[in-house]
């Protein structure tokens, strides 16, 4: 048994990967790799501008010595470099108006008193549930609610933190526990005016829910968001992160582990979200559910022709996921979604699923997916089959290319995964060559010298963010989540 934890990164180091979202050409049935142009981001959101001067990382980018791409950094979160004009203080038992000597006693009261450019600084302690509507910062003057030490928000039998229609808001450093959702963030039901510009950073949720459809983080109608450097686990029957009609998001540098059901889910018309540099561990269902099943009245936009589109899962580490009919990734009514440069360790049940759960006539089939440049280290005894393809999908439009497959319980004669149910055979795979991790048993999945994955990747039409460690990929890139050190 390989190590269940990946030790390539300490749990709470600063986030090195902010990400890189770029628009690409629209796909056709014969070009599964090209991605359609994303909607233009609103002010200061995750950039989708293919011409960004400080972007990089494609085959045409300049390379520094040793083949490492010179630049692959992404637009920073909107709070980078911000100086707050005002600070309000919160402390247990406070009864004042937010000065250091007379702090508020309630996080919610302080938030409601905040103006654009305010930082709410919360002293160590345990606080009750927080529910705030219409908390609005502005570009260059966000509102930040920041834990100044060990701060717990205890939602009791309800939701720990609820924000309705926030804009330019930062939530940072809190531990949440709750009987329903750990966090619920939505647009207040006004689909034409989404919540937007939200940063969730260094959040810890160790338990949420009580057996219903309770999520650790629930977001509905949120655009231009970042979820960074957080540790999310233990949701009871919901998802670790559940997005309904959310767009232009960045989920980077987090540890997702050991829920009751699925990991990160994007559905209900969600699109243009990059999931990168995360560790997914022992998730019994679908570690990433790109799509899903949503009631028609909850789609954002209401007429979206897909459950999800252009969800890009790149440079993550997946360890022992899918024990309960799950997989590392499921493409579920997802159009032009990508699973590339991931390191997948000992998957259970299936490696990937291609499904269609929303069947109204307006929906396109799950199609145009890409599964490429990954390393998959597996045991045949843990799998039913490699891929599970459901009815109503378009498996012939999926492209599998240049993945490294290594079966721990097979000898050198093993010929690799089988493709059926309409899937086309993989293009140029690497079969049964040991990827030569530095210390797989200890959870270190860096590539050792002589690894067949080094420099073996193919150029994709999707630009690459940094690798799991925050390093730019080389040109040509290595396979998996980690470029050579």
Contact 378, 349 (CB under 8 A): no
Beta bridge partners of 383: 349
The length of the chain in residues reads 485
Spatial CB neighbours of 189, under 8 Å, sequence gap ≥ 6: none
Phi-psi region of 192 (alpha: psi -120 to 50; beta: other; left: phi over 0): alpha
Beta strand 118-122 with 375-378: parallel, antiparallel or unpaired?
unpaired
Closest by CA to 240, choosing from 279, 186, 287, 278, is 287
Query: Distance between CA atoms of 433 and 412, rounded to whole angstroms?
Result: 8
Beta bridge partners of 176: 153, 205
Domain ranges of the chain: 1-74+239-485
Query: Distance between CA atoms of 456 and 375, rounded to whole angstroms?
Result: 11
Spatial CB neighbours of 397, under 8 Å, sequence gap ≥ 6: 29, 32, 367, 368, 369
**Per-residue pLDDT, 210:** 81
Spatial CB neighbours of 30, under 8 Å, sequence gap ≥ 6: none
The C-alpha angle with vertex 272 and arms to 323 and 142, in degrees rounded to 5, equals: 105
352-355 β-sheet, strand order:
130-133, 161-164, 183-186, 217-220, 241-244, 264-267, 286-291, 327-332, 352-355, 387-389
| pTM for this predicted structure | 0.89
Tokens of 341: 């440069």
3-state SS record for the chain: CCCCCCCCCCCCCCCCCCCCCCCCCCCECCECCCCCCCCCCCCCCCCCCCCCCCCCCCCCCCECHHHEECCCCCCCCCCCCCCCCEEEEECCCCCCCCCCCCCECCHHHHHHHCCCCEEEEECCEEECCEEEECCECECCECEEEEEEEEEEEECCCCCCEEEECCEEEEEEEEEEEECCCCEEEECCCCCCCCEEEEEEECCEEEEECCCCCECCEEEECEEEEEEECCEEECECECCCEEEECCEEEEEECCEEECCCCCCEEEECCEEEEEEECCEEECCCCEEEEEECCCCHHHCCCCCCCCCEEEEEEECCEEECCCCCCCEEEEEECEECCEEECCEEECCCECCEEEECCCCCCCCCCCECCEEECCEEEECHHHECCCEEECCCCCHHHCEEECCEEEECCCCCCCCCCCCCCCCCCCECCEECCCCCEEEHHHCEEEECCCCCCCCCCCCCCCCCCCCCCCCCCECCCCCCCCCCC
Contact 87, 118 (CB under 8 A): yes
Q: How does pLDDT run along the chain (485 residues), one tens digit per residue?
A: 455 455 444 333 333 333 344 333 333 333 333 333 333 333 334 432 222 222 223 322 333 333 444 468 766 899 999 999 999 999 999 999 999 999 999 999 999 999 999 999 999 999 999 999 999 999 999 999 999 999 999 999 999 999 999 999 999 999 999 989 999 999 999 888 999 999 999 999 988 888 778 899 999 999 999 999 999 998 887 899 999 999 999 999 999 999 989 999 999 999 999 999 999 999 999 999 999 999 999 999 999 999 999 999 999 999 999 999 999 999 999 999 999 999 999 999 999 999 999 999 999 999 999 999 999 999 999 999 999 999 999 999 999 999 999 999 999 999 999 999 999 999 999 999 999 999 999 999 999 999 999 999 999 988 899 999 999 999 999 999 999 99
Closest by CA to 5, choosing from 344, 281, 316, 253, is 281
Whether the CA torsion 19, 25, 29, 32 is positive or negative: it is negative
Beta strand 118-122 with 270-276: parallel, antiparallel or unpaired?
unpaired
Closest by CA to 367, choosing from 340, 394, 338, is 394
Spatial CB neighbours of 146, under 8 Å, sequence gap ≥ 6: 119, 120, 121, 122, 170, 172, 173
């Amino acid at each position: 048994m390989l190590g269940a934890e990946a030790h390539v990164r300490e749990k709470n180091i600063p986030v090195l990967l902010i990400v890189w979202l770029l628009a690409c050409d629209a796909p056709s049935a014969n070009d599964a790799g090209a991605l359609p142009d994303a909607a233009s981001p609103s002010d200061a959101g995750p950039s989708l501008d293919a011409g960004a001067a400080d972007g990089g990382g494609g085959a045409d980018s300049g390379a520094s010595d040793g083949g490492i791409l010179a630049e692959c950094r992404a637009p920073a979160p909107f709070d980078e470099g911000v100086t707050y004009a005002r600070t309000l203080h919160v402390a247990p038992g406070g009864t004042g108006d937010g000065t250091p000597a007379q702090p508020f006693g309630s996080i919610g009261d302080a938030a409601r008193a905040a103006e654009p450019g305010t930082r709410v600084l919360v002293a160590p302690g345990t606080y009750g549930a927080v529910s705030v509507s219409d908390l609005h910062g502005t570009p260059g003057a966000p509102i930040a609610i920041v834990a100044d030490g060990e701060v717990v928000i205890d939602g009791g039998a309800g939701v720990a933190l609820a924000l309705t229609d926030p804009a330019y808001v930062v939530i940072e450093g809190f531990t949440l526990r709750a009987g329903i959702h750990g966090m619920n963030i939505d647009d207040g039901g006004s689909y034409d005016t989404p919540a937007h510009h939200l940063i969730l950073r260094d959040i810890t949720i160790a338990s949420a829910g009580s057996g219903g459809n309770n999520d650790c983080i629930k977001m509905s109608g949120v655009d231009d968001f970042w979820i960074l450097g957080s540790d999310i686990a233990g949701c009871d029957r919901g998802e670790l992160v559940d997005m309904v009609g959310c767009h232009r998001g960045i989920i980077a540098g987090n540890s997702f582990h050991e829920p009751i059901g699925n990991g990160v889910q994007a559905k209900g018309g969600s699109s243009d979200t990059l999931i990168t540099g995360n560790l997914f561990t022992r998730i019994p269902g679908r570690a990433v559910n790109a799509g899903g099943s949503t009631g028609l009245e909850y789609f954002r936009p209401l007429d979206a022709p897909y459950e999800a589109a252009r969800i890009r899962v790149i440079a993550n580490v997946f360890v022992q996921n899918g024990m309960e009919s799950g997989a590392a990734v499921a493409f579920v009514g997802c159009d032009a979604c990508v699973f590339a440069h991931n390191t997948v360790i000992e998957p259970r049940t299936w490696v990937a699923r291609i499904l269609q759960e929303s069947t109204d006539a307006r929906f396109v089939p799950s199609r145009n997916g890409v599964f490429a440049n990954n390393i998959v280290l597996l045991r045949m005894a843990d799998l039913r089959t490699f891929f599970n393809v459901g009815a109503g999908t378009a498996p012939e439009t999926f492209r599998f290319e240049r993945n490294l497959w290594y079966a721990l319980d097979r000898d050198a004669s093993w010929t690799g995964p089988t493709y059926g149910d309409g899937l086309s055979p993989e293009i140029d795979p690497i079969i049964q060559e040991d990827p030569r991790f530095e210390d797989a048993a200890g959870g270190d999945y860096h590539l050792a010298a002589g690894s067949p994955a080094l420099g073996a990747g193919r150029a994709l039409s999707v630009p690459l963010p940094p690798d799991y460690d925050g390093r730019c990929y080389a040109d040509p890139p290595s396979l998996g989540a980690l470029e050579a050190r």
